[in-house]
Amino acid sequence: MNRSNTLDYSELKRFVKSAPLNPGVYLMKDREGHIIYVGKAKVLRHRLASYFNGPKDIKTRTLLSHLASIETIVVSNEYEALLLENTLIKQHSPRYNINLKDGKTYPVVRITHEPFPRVFKTRYIVQDGSEYYGPYPNVGALENLLDIIKTLFPLRHCKTLKKREHPCLYYHMGRCSAPCAGKIDEQTYASYIEQVRELLSGKTEKLLQDLQKKMEEAATRLAFEEAARYRDAIRHIEELSHTNAVVDFDPQARDYITWASEGVFTVFSVFSMREGKLIGRELYRTRSAAETSESIQQFLLSYYNDTHRPPPFIFFQEKVEGLEEVQRFFSEAFHEHPGFFFGTEKSTAGEKITPNEEAAEKGAYFSQDQRHGAILALAHQNAKEELIRIIRERGEGPALEELQRVLQLPALPYRIEGFDVAHLGGRHTVASLISFVGGRPDKKNYRYFKIRTLEGKIDDYEALREALSRRYSRLLAEEAELPDLILIDGGLGQANAAHSIITALGLSIPVVGLAKQEEELWLPAAASPIRLDQRSEALRLLQFIRDETHRFATGLNQRLRSRDLQLSTLEAIPGIGEKRAIHLIRAFGSLENLRKASLEEILPHVEQRADVARAVLEALRGPAQSP
């Protein structure tokens, strides 16, 4: 293992020149020692040198702006590098590697490994021989599917199969075959399970034929309720089948994977075809500094897992280098060896899938079939539209880029956190924290801090230091994402106070203050402010964030003052002390609600003392309206 200490740019380049000439994995770290990117290489020195030589796209510039040290791990071959890279990415979740929502967070259908299996929805995988189908991102569609299974097949409901003399109510309702009471043998029950497998696999043609036959037989026997049940099941299955617009009558199971990128953002689109029908379309937003081929490899290793196994055929929108080791991983991990096909949206009509001789030896082929080109085009269009949505959501791209340039920031300030302090003559001192992501409010990450250390003194600098210390000490402890920029409502003094805490915590987050009167930007320890044109997009964004921090802090301060006034009003009433006043406000929410309350509603909160309850109402309503 070889590692560099925290180095500057030129020192990093010197370290790279002495990196091993072996296959391996490299870990890129920031100044705090956090792993921000994990990559693999056939030759470590050559791969690392590529980051520092020649022109750099925005992904590389973003990654290098946070890079402080590199660690390398030498392995024997490329395949070992792939396995180790995959393990380290899952272990550390680096900021600039692909980060997909784990398929295991979606529900799957489990068929238990028992003589009389159960079929049910779960989010957990148990390695006991059970079968799993899914995952299902659309939970509503999954519930409909399970309802059909319960209607068609009398499978057991009980979690533990215990012998009993009399079957339960489900048996009498026709919803269970009562294996617990010996009402069905294993062979017959297994035939039901096999039909469930076909339904879950999308093989509905034979099942529909069987249901049609059973419906006709039931009608012949004049069992009209039974016939109606089969009719409804047929309709529901057909509805589920026809909700997918793409049909090509090819029974081969296959996935189509396309992508669209802009800067560090990539959207992957996966179309899944089973039994000639499009049964699923999934979109994944990712933020990664990896090159396209590395991103695709990481995506495949994240997307396919124990519950989402690779199909026999996977199609890609264009040629992707370096997938041989991924195929080998699939073969060893899942005992599957899917064929990889590469094509373009402009495919030749009528031609078959034609192997490319060199690629065929490695299991990769080029698709020239018009059908596959059409589906790839549709999947790619979905990826592009989702990417456009991401860009629109960012919205403030030009302002952020101007801000990065003006403040000479190491990275685009995608996440900005703003702070302000509010108080009333030293009382009710609060600090607000608001968060902006991509130039838009991220309200779920708004916070406020009741300042504990001032004890009635007026000291905005100390209040800021306490708020920032509490905020970033917690983020460090939780290993949570840190902002790219901190904005302080104030001038040089406030910026210096904030910077002192950030430095004391060992962080290197840029800080800027925005002074109200002249709308000047102050960097810590600066001799003079930065003045932007009043039409500047960067200034407009900072003003918006500053005003939002002020609004949030002032709003809380006003609520605290209002609560204090309410408590003071109650404490002035005979028989009401501080504790009882707090209790009444908590019980009724406000003086207005308390004023509208009846004597009987107040009595339980004043220990049934009618004289105190009357005094409360008299103070709030006036003598004429009190009981």
Q: Which domain holds residue 30?
A: 2-97
Tokens 């290197």 map to which residue?
A: 508
415-424/485-489 β-pairing: parallel
Cα–Cα distance between 16 and 50 in angstroms, integer?
A: 10
In 10 A of CB 216, how many CB atoms?
12
Same domain, 576 and 596: yes
| Inside any domain, residue 129 | no
Q: Is residue 548 part of a domain?
A: yes
In a domain, 25, yes or no: yes
Listed residues 46, 67, 97: the one ending a domain: 97
DSSP state of 443: G
Strands (E), 31-115: 35-41, 69-74, 108-111
- Whether residue 386 is contained in a domain is answered as yes
Q: Give the CATH number for residue 64.
A: 3.40.1440.10
Residue 595 sits in a domain whose CATH number is 1.10.150
Same-domain status, 454 and 556? yes
Q: With helix as H, strand as E and coil as C, how does 321-366 read?
A: CCCHHHHHHHHHHHCCCCEEEECCCCCCCCCCCECCHHHHCCCEEE
Q: At which of 335, 361, 394 does a domain end?
A: 394
pLDDT of residue 424: 60
Mean pLDDT in order along the chain per 10 residues (627 residues): 63 86 90 89 91 75 84 84 82 77 59 91 78 69 83 86 82 83 89 87 80 88 84 76 52 88 81 75 78 86 81 89 86 83 49 38 46 80 78 69 89 89 69 86 86 75 92 88 92 94 92 88 92 82 87 65 61 73 73 75 76 74 57
> Rounded distance, CA 282 to CA 311, Å?
15
Cβ proximity of 484 and 450 under 8 Å: no
What's the CA gap between 477 and 469, in Å, rounded? 12
Shared domain check, 453 and 544? yes
What are the phi and psi torsion angles at 45 (to 5°)? -60, -45
Please check whether residue 336 lies inside any domain of the structure: yes
Whether 379 and 411 map to the same domain: the answer is no
Considering the domain architecture, whether residues 604 and 545 belong to the same structural domain is answered as: no
Positive or negative: CA dihedral 521, 523, 525, 531: negative
Q: What Rg, from alpha-carbon coordinates, does the chain have?
A: 33
Judgement on whether residues 485 and 592 belong to the same structural domain of the protein: no
Same domain, 583 and 447: no
Which residues sit opposite 133 in a β-bridge? 109
Q: Report if residue 508 sits inside a domain.
A: yes
Q: What pTM does this model have?
A: 0.40
Residue 311 shares a structural domain with residue 454: no
Judge if 389 and 404 occupy the same domain. no
- Are residues 608 and 586 part of one domain? yes
Neighbours of 600 (CB within 10 A): 10
Do residue 582 and residue 452 come from a single domain? no
Q: Cα–Cα–Cα angle for 502, 507, 512, nearest 5°?
A: 50
556 plus 599 within the same structural domain: no
CATH classification of the domain holding 442 = 3.30.420.340
Domain end position, chosen among 97, 127, 152 = 97
Q: Buried (b) or exposed (e) across 95-131, using 16+ Cβ within 10 A?
A: bbbbbeeebbebbbbbbbeeebbbbbeeeeeeeeeeb
Residue 330 lies in a domain: yes
Measure Cα distances from 144 to 33, 151, 168, 280 in Å. 49, 11, 24, 15
Rounded CA separation 575/174 (Å): 68
Count: domains in the chain: 4
By three-state DSSP, how is residue 146 classified? helix
CA–centroid distance for 11 within its chain:
36
Q: Report if residue 54 sits inside a domain.
A: yes
